[in-house]
Amino acid sequence: MHATASDSTFTVADPATGQALTEVSALDRDGVLALVERARRAQPGWEALGFEGRGAVLRDLRRWLVDHRDRVLRTLISESGKSWVDAQLELVYVADALGFWARRAPKYLADERPRPHSPFLAGRKLVNRFRPYGVVGVIGPWNYPLINNFGDAVPALMAGNAVVLKPARLTPLSSMLMAQGLRQVGAPEGVFLVANGSGATVGGALVESVDMLHFTGSTEVGRQLGVQAAERLLPITLELGGKDPMIVLEDANLERAANAAVWGAMENAGQTCISVERVYVEGGAYEPFVARVVDKVRKLRQGGPGGPGRADIGAMTSSEQLETLEEHVRDAVEKGARLEAGGRRRDGPGDFFEPTVLSGVDHSMKVMTEETFGPVLPVMRVDDVEQAVALANDSRYGLDSSVFAGDHRRGEQIVRRLEAGAAVVNDVITNYFATELPIGGVKESGLGARHGAVGIQKFCQRQNIVVTRFGLNRELYYFPYSRTTAKLVEWAIIALFGRGGRRRRRRRG
């Protein structure tokens, strides 16, 4: 573990070196509840700023983020152990998200004005309004301290909510730095607060007190939070685990597919919910694809970041994940898989697992059915597309997926058959940067989605408004009822609904 805790503090350490970085104060239940109450007092003023005022603050924060990029990157790298470029990709996402939501929120959350279809509503104005919940709780994971912590807070803030963020105990420093940045650019006090501490204590207190909750993390913890939220009927969205398949057809560009597979499986040391976790290669493409992948993986540079571009693969942020990686590789090899590269934790300081490739795998092995969450790439031969699709769908997860095909139109036909909330043709992971498109899981990969209009509307309640601008003293359907009223309603039913259907022809005998 890289975060050890007492009753009031815990230590954050660098996974690449094992060296302690700092002590962080841990909140108890009462401390969390006080933080939520503080956020609740700040929220009305933040909402009153309107889209323009809130957007100005987020755009100022984007400038702050760019101006302080070196400090942000070093903070992120030191607590997560990721490579420099992997950290830069997080910064790119958040900088883009700040501008995206500031620009799109007024459109996505504008009042909707449908035209009434019913004659009983003639002359009325219909409005569907979005209003912020109030205080939104965000519980983030340790693998992406910026993207899946503060990045998820951005649309909630832009919608007019105050946010209380609980980062993982392994990686709280980036979130604390973003809170500092918001204060420095003039955000009202209490609008964005960070609640550090244990998952059980802080998470439980948030479920107890906030008005809406978003969680990113494991399926097991997400299920527990869902049960707790149900006790309050608390609105909740969940982005959970994945076992994302990649299909490579015989006519695919194998060089591109191999490059994509290696990056998709190894980026952020494989600690990505939408990473490539299993590959199915059709027929004659199998051997040349595996050869390309193995050659590329063996050339990867692993180690501490040491500056821009000096390492490809960083450390495992959570030392506990090393045990899962070892178990999955050992299980596969014992059941007949071939270890083509890597396969073990690296000696020396820091928590590193060698970039690993396994061939000859099948669905009897954990590495093909359970979430591995590390730099391990298992590759399986399939006879044809039908087998590939069947195996890709043979999972309790359904987060992301990809297909590589010589004909992109055929690739799109295939991904439409995959049971996944997201899919990419001839690429991997990059769909996460398509902020216009909702992305979320099916099956046990989650509830709800981030991005797109629903990615900010989920942080709002809907209010249905019907305005009668003019009318009689008494409508036809007001009390008291009479025989005349009933007759008029009957005529209306016949006139409105009694035409247009097919009449059955009488059978002549």
Given this model, what pLDDT does residue 6 score? Answer: 45
Domain with CATH 3.40.605.10 in the chain: 3-240+453-461
Could you report the per-residue pLDDT of 189-216, keeping only the tens digit for each?
Answer: 999 999 999 999 999 999 999 999 999 9
Q: Provide the phi-psi class of 409: left if phi over 0, else alpha when psi is between -120 and 50, else beta.
A: alpha
For 3-240+453-461, CATH gives 3.40.605.10
Residue 360, both tokens: 């000859």
Please indicate whether residue 273 is annotated as part of the active site.
Answer: yes
| From 90, 273, 354, 460, the catalytic residue | 273
Given this model, what pLDDT does residue 437 score? Answer: 97
DSSP letter assigned to residue 203 = I
β-sheet with 212-216: strand ranges across: 192-194, 162-166, 135-139, 212-216, 236-239, 446-447
Given this model, what pLDDT does residue 348 score? Answer: 84
> Are the C-beta atoms of 469 and 123 separated by less than 8 Å?
yes
pTM tops 0.85, yes or no: yes
Q: Is the pLDDT at 3 greater than 80, yes or no? A: no
Q: For residues 201 and 197, what is the distance between their CA atoms, to the nearest angstrom? A: 7
Domain with CATH 3.40.309.10 in the chain: 245-432
Given this model, what pLDDT does residue 306 score? Answer: 79
Please indicate whether residue 460 is annotated as part of the active site.
Answer: no
Given this model, what pLDDT does residue 503 score? Answer: 60
- Collapse the DSSP code of 301 into the 3-class scheme (helix H, G, I; strand E, B; otherwise coil) and give the result: coil
DSSP letter assigned to residue 430 = G
Given this model, what pLDDT does residue 363 score? Answer: 98
DSSP letter assigned to residue 94 = H
Q: Is the pLDDT at 7 greater than 90, yes or no? A: no
Q: What is the mean pLDDT of residues 347-354?
A: 94
Q: What is the mean pLDDT of residues 53-67?
A: 98
Q: Is the pLDDT at 418 greater than 60, yes or no? A: yes
| From 79, 239, 282, 371, the catalytic residue | 239
CATH 3.40.50.2300 fits 245-432, yes or no: no
Query: How many CA atoms does the CB half-sphere of 297 hold within 13 Å?
Result: 31
Q: For residue 450, list its beta bridge partners.
A: 439
Of the two residues 119 and 57, the one the predictor is more confident about is 57
Q: What is the mean pLDDT of residues 210-226?
A: 97
Q: Which residue has the tokens 């963020």?
A: 165
> Are the C-beta atoms of 40 and 163 separated by less than 8 Å?
no
> Are the C-beta atoms of 353 and 346 separated by less than 8 Å?
yes
> Are the C-beta atoms of 189 and 42 separated by less than 8 Å?
yes
CA quadruple 349, 355, 360, 361: dihedral, nearest 10 = 70
Q: What is the mean pLDDT of residues 475-493?
A: 92
